[in-house]
Amino acid sequence: MDRLLRLKSVLDLTGLSRSRVYELIAAGAFPAPVKIGARAVAWRASEIAAWIDSRPPARRASGDPGGA
């Protein structure tokens, strides 16, 4: 079973802001969260890792989160 990450962990790992994460989700450029409760969501760790790995190396090294 894939580990689930809450928003704070996703923000820490990606360097993105909360609003940017949701902008990218709306644009189809970031993994969508899964519902884990009536008012709670989380992201699959493997999907976040794949998204991070898909970023150009220069952006990852500089800390620039980039975008869509």
Q: Looking at residue 28, what is its pLDDT? A: 98
In a domain, 24, yes or no: yes
In a domain, 67, yes or no: no
Q: What is the pTM of this model?
A: 0.81
In a domain, 38, yes or no: yes
Q: What separation in angstroms does the CA of 48 have from each of 15, 25, 35? A: 12, 12, 16
In a domain, 66, yes or no: no
Q: Looking at residue 45, what is its pLDDT? A: 99
In a domain, 26, yes or no: yes
Q: Which tokens go with 25? A: 């989700």
In a domain, 68, yes or no: no
Domains held by the chain: number:
1
In a domain, 15, yes or no: yes
In a domain, 25, yes or no: yes
Q: Which domain holds residue 44?
A: 4-61
Q: What is the pLDDT along the chain (68 residues), one digit of tens a residue?
A: 799 999 999 999 999 999 999 999 999 999 999 999 999 999 999 999 999 999 988 655 555 655 54
- Work out the angle between the directed axes of helices 18-26 and 7-14 (0-180°, nearest 10): 90
Supply the DSSP symbol for 29.
-
